[in-house]
Structure 1
Amino acid sequence: MTEPVRAGGAARVMSPQRNQVELRPVDLESLLAHDHAARTVWAFVQALDLAPLYARIKSVAGRGGAPAIDPAILVALWLWATIDGVGSAREIDRLCDRDDAYRWICGGVGVNYHSLADFRTAHEAWLDAQLTASITSLLDRRLITLNAVAQDGLRVRAHAKASSFRRREKLAELRAQAEAQVRTLKRELTEDAGASARRKQAAIERAAREREQRLAAALATMDKLQRKPLPEAKKPKPSKRRGRGGDDEPGSPTSTAAKPEPEPRVSTTDPDARVMKMADGGFRPAFNAQLAVDAQTQLIAAVAITHSGSDMGQMSPMHANIQQRYAVTPEHWLADGGFTKLQAIDELTARGTQPVLPPPRSRNPDIDRLAPKDTDSPAQAQWREFMRSDFAKALYIQRGATVECANAQLRRRGLQRFNVCGIAKARAVLLWHALAHNLMRMRSLNIAVEA
């Protein structure tokens, strides 16, 4: 840049010097506002029962070894990352160096993505217990009642790709190759004398062993699928073309025969994943995540994750889950038409809950689906009559404003695809989302966090 020239000489200005090192006296506590959401996360974590996590730490006083990362830090990091829409351990590792909220949570303690990734999926049972304990605390304080519970399912993409699905013959071939590779790597690891090379070889051997284990799990899943009873084949429809004897001609193009059931396929990446129809109409490997939400507060009371791509059989198990967790029986149970199953209507009614969901439509437009049928049980007839009332219609409207809203919040925070393999790890990720959602709902409702 050319300096301006004047009659009295060049202008004197102060230009930026960005390569100077500055030492600023600043503490982490002053980086966040007093009402920052990260502070709410930390207060929530302090109210949780962390004793089971501390009990698993091997580094104890009086013995050697480096101190472990405080589990409270790891819990807070994952809760805040979930709220922030971050689902990658590597990204959290980077944010802990440059983002004030993550730095404040760490408090100067260094973390790494290996520890973060392992911690995220290693404590599914503990996460489930904390979800139950937090809702139980609100029930004891009479801040929620669970009188009306809404249920919904959302299909979440699995980590596996569609191209990873193989049939039995290919799975057996790939497993044999993996077993041979593991044997070869173990032999090379024993013969290699270099420490650095041994560590690298050990990592390769571990990856090959894990791949062999996944293939073994895929074959076990294949056995389970093939042992399931297949649906009865539909009888072929009679053809209109008749031979001289009046029977269908076997060579006629209009004659039909029962098609053989195709051999099932299982993913080599994630044997627990199943191909499901997604919201956009496409078919992809996914899991079916189920949410049970308190209709009054939109707090998630229970979660489940299944292999089934249909919601038809998910209502009764979730209802029993709520009863077992909290020893309460909801007065009303809200769900959409995808959950309508007559057997579940009988089961919920017998347990003391009124189902609030639309009866299935008939193919005949002249048939009133709300009118009791001759084949209905007393509970089913009462349910149809109840759904005709204005009270039931007004109650059903709450479903979309509660559980659908929670569904959308989880999607907004990044629950579009699981980046972990296995249904147990996927459920752990779903529990992190449920706890994070409840935390922000409690903050919005001005519900104080208590131990």
Structure 2
Amino acid sequence: MAADELFGDLPEQAKPPAEATARGAPRLREPQRDQIALRAVDIESLIGEDHPVRLIWSYVEGLDLSDLEDRIKARGDRPGHPATSPRLLLALWLSATSEGVGSARALERLCESHDAYRWLCGGVSVNYHMLADFRVGCADLLDRLLCEHLAALAKAGLVDLETLAQDGVRVRASAGAASFRREATLDKHLAQAEAVVEDLKGEVEARSDASNQRIRAARERAARERQGRLKAAQTALAEIKQRRKEREEKRGNGKKPKEPRASTTDADARVMKMAGGGFRPAYNVQVTSAAGEQIVTGLNVTSIGSDRGLMRPMLEQQRTRPGGLPKRHLVDGGFGSAEDIEWAHAEGVEVFCPPTQSKHGTDPCLPRRGDGPGVLAWRARMASEAGKARYKTRSTCECIHARWRNWDLRQLTVRGIEKVRAVVLWFALTNNILQGIRLRTA
């Protein structure tokens, strides 16, 4: 078909006048996005004067970080690349925690693109390896800073340490549910891992080819790490068996317990009942706080799914922290045991904990046969209106857990109880810094 027949119905278009053709094509400024642009940036003006990151930096500036600075080898005229300031790394993670950023890679990207983090860095480059190592490697420093900040708040009269509340929150572990194995399976996998390690070790020693040798060395290292995780799982399995045996001796119900299992990826994680009613690999994070001010005074991470018996360890920890043992300790109903209440009574601590309901329908606050002086005083205290009103203030400590959930403390990205404790300490210190600023402002 000819072109004239195909477009025959279209109106004729007038040709441009000769004068317009002679002028040439129009010159336009089109975007060229593949070019490299150099810009002059005033880093100080990237954020406003009232930006929250300035408050975090002002806190970090006044800290004594000599413990970390003493580890730096690049000093004076000695050779070596200058180290990244520990104050910068501390401020970066405090700011990231307050915004729900828990990934070192995500924080590295923010330091390149986000104005607040670019202001903190001030032209200093960071990488995710450095950020990840710093996050989990300074738990002792974070605990010390938590105590020092708490002591400063108490000295300023902003926090009452005579009444503390304790509560636990279960945080999903990094281990998968399918990583839990029984003893026979663990033994089988461990034997396979040991055989792989021996084979790879022989290959590395026999070959001299550098590139292939590095590949085999990396494979051998991965096999050794898997072998170490399997051995840790076996150790955890033995602890679970011992704990179950002790529990069965106490209860003596005659039921045959299920065969225990341990995780091959995170041996410290345990399957726990979560708040939603399901069972997941998790850690039990115990938090003691000044409930009225929502300030964390101490925390501990355990692999025990039940809160029973965890009140006394937290009180013993509180003895060595600012304020010492409190006069009043508020806990949920699952924490109370007669032994712990008697111990607290002997230490001068009044426990506020709702008693469990009796199977026979009797008043649980009435004295019972075998009650010691501490338990008798506790029952009378919880039967009084003043005691019930005092216990109601415990619910304020739940706001700390809610704030941590908003900061995305829902599932951990690290493995091992020590690393988990370091991550939770970041949340506790960040909570206290921001809450302390609010208390001073109020």
TM-score, scaled to structure 1:
0.86
Which of the numbers 388, 391, 400 marks the counterpart of 1:396? 391
Which of the numbers 356, 362, 366 marks the counterpart of 1:360? 356
Q: CA deviation at 1:77?
A: 1.3
Q: Distance in 1 between matches of 2:219 and 2:88?
A: 31
Q: CA deviation at 1:314?
A: 1.0
Query: Please, which moves more after superposition, 12-21 or 98-107?
Result: 12-21
Which of the numbers 369, 373, 379 marks the counterpart of 2:368? 373
Given the alignment of the two structures, is residue 423 of structure 1 paired with residue 417 of structure 2, yes or no?
Answer: yes
Which of the numbers 24, 32, 39 marks the counterpart of 2:54? 39
Residue 271 of structure 1 aligns to a residue whose secondary structure is: coil
Given the alignment of the two structures, is residue 386 of structure 1 paired with residue 376 of structure 2, yes or no?
Answer: no
Letter of the 1:219 counterpart:
Q
Query: Please, which moves more after superposition, 203-212 or 336-345?
Result: 203-212
Partner of 2:154: 139
Partner of 2:145: 130
Quick one: structure 1 residues 234 and 217, their matched pair in 2 at CA, closer, same or farther if it must change by over 3 Å? closer
Question: C-alpha deviations, 1:5-44, integer Å up to 9, x for none?
Answer: xxxx9xx999874637654322221101111111111122
Whether contact under 8 Å (1:218, 1:266) holds in the other structure is yes
Question: C-alpha deviations, 1:409-436, integer Å up to 9, x for none?
Answer: 1111111111111111111111011011
Partner of 1:347: 343
Structure 2 matches for 1:173-192, cutoff 5 A? 173-191=188-206
Quick one: structure 1 residues 62 and 198, their matched pair in 2 at CA, closer, same or farther if it must change by over 3 Å? farther
Letter of the 2:373 counterpart:
P
Partner of 1:164: 179
Whether contact under 8 Å (2:158, 2:440) holds in the other structure is no
Given the alignment of the two structures, is residue 414 of structure 1 paired with residue 429 of structure 2, yes or no?
Answer: no
Whether contact under 8 Å (2:161, 2:323) holds in the other structure is no
Partner of 2:269: 273
Whether contact under 8 Å (1:289, 1:303) holds in the other structure is yes
Structure 2 matches for 1:100-249, cutoff 5 A? 100-191=115-206, 193=208, 195-228=210-243, 229-230=245-246, 231-232=248-249
Residue 61 of structure 1 aligns to a residue whose secondary structure is: coil
Whether contact under 8 Å (2:158, 2:439) holds in the other structure is no
Q: CA deviation at 1:438?
A: 0.8
- Give 5+ residue unaligned stretches, structure 2: 1-19, 21-25
Query: Please, which moves more after superposition, 299-308 or 339-348?
Result: 339-348
Using the aligned pairs only, state the percent identity. Answer: 44
Whether contact under 8 Å (1:181, 1:208) holds in the other structure is yes
Q: CA deviation at 1:79?
A: 1.1
Q: Distance in 2 between matches of 1:191 and 1:447?
A: 69
Quick one: structure 1 residues 360 and 207, their matched pair in 2 at CA, closer, same or farther if it must change by over 3 Å? same
Quick one: structure 1 residues 99 and 324, their matched pair in 2 at CA, closer, same or farther if it must change by over 3 Å? same
Whether contact under 8 Å (1:49, 1:130) holds in the other structure is no
Q: CA deviation at 1:197?
A: 4.8
Instruction: Provide the alpha-carbon RMSD of the alignment.
Output: 2.6
Whether contact under 8 Å (2:291, 2:393) holds in the other structure is yes
Letter of the 2:177 counterpart:
A
Letter of the 1:286 counterpart:
A
Q: CA deviation at 1:191?
A: 4.8
Given the alignment of the two structures, is residue 60 of structure 1 paired with residue 97 of structure 2, yes or no?
Answer: no
Which of the numbers 319, 325, 328 marks the counterpart of 2:324? 328
Residue 321 of structure 2 aligns to a residue whose secondary structure is: helix
Q: CA deviation at 1:205?
A: 2.9
Letter of the 1:435 counterpart:
L
Whether contact under 8 Å (2:153, 2:436) holds in the other structure is no
Q: Distance in 1 between matches of 2:351 and 2:250?
A: 34
Which of the numbers 304, 311, 314 marks the counterpart of 1:308? 304
TM-score, scaled to structure 2:
0.88
Quick one: structure 1 residues 138 and 82, their matched pair in 2 at CA, closer, same or farther if it must change by over 3 Å? same
Q: Distance in 2 between matches of 1:111 and 1:197?
A: 32
Q: Distance in 2 between matches of 1:399 and 1:106?
A: 40
Partner of 2:4: none
Residue correspondences, number: 419
Whether contact under 8 Å (1:162, 1:285) holds in the other structure is yes
Quick one: structure 1 residues 227 and 334, their matched pair in 2 at CA, closer, same or farther if it must change by over 3 Å? closer
- Give 5+ residue unaligned stretches, structure 1: 1-8, 237-257
Which of the numbers 420, 433, 436 marks the counterpart of 1:439? 433
Q: CA deviation at 1:46?
A: 2.0
Whether contact under 8 Å (1:83, 1:436) holds in the other structure is yes
Letter of the 1:54 counterpart:
E
Letter of the 1:293 counterpart:
S
Q: CA deviation at 1:148?
A: 0.8
Q: Distance in 2 between matches of 1:331 and 1:444?
A: 26
Q: Distance in 1 between matches of 2:203 and 2:59?
A: 50
Letter of the 1:220 counterpart:
T
Residue 324 of structure 1 aligns to a residue whose secondary structure is: coil
Question: C-alpha deviations, 1:113-151, integer Å up to 9, x for none?
Answer: 111111111122221121112112222333323011011
Given the alignment of the two structures, is residue 287 of structure 1 paired with residue 283 of structure 2, yes or no?
Answer: yes
